[in-house]
């Protein structure tokens, strides 16, 4: 892993199923996106029949949770953005 490159994690979750008032299924797509910088890595131990227990440390610079195309939370340290329910709260300053 190149420590000078940014690290992007995109977690696309399957649709969430919840029952409405009439027992109907409601489908909601959810996406979580994190962007950060590489801070450290440990490969762990290599033993036969056991997990390596490696670790990766990242500094998170941007974090977003999106539900059905609507930004529930977005925090961006580099661009000074704090968005909650599609409204930029950083503009209130």
pLDDT in tens, 74-88: 999 888 888 888 787
| Segment 11-36 mean pLDDT | 73
Q: What is the pLDDT of residue 62?
A: 92
DSSP single-letter state for residue 20:
-
Task: Dump the DSSP string for 27-85.
Answer: EEEEEEEEEEEEEEEE-----TTS----EEEEEEEEEEEEETTEEEEEEETTTTEEEET
Q: What is the pLDDT of residue 46?
A: 84
Q: What is the pLDDT of residue 88?
A: 79
- pTM, two decimals, is 0.64
Q: What is the pLDDT of residue 54?
A: 85
End-to-end Cα distance, the chain: 38
Asked if the model's pLDDT at residue 13 lies above 80, the reply is: no
CB atoms within 10 A of CB 66: 17
């Amino acid at each position: 892993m190149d420590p000078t490159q940014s690290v992007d994690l995109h977690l696309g979750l399957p649709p969430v199923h919840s029952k409405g008032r009439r027992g109907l299924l409601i489908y909601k797509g959810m996406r979580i996106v994190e962007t950060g910088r590489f801070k450290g890595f440990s490969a762990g131990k290599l033993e036969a029949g056991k997990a390596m227990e490696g670790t990766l440390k990242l500094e998170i610079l941007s974090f977003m949770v999106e539900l059905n195309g609507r930004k529930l939370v977005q925090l961006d340290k580099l661009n000074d953005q704090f968005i909650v329910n599609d409204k930029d709260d950083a503009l209130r300053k």
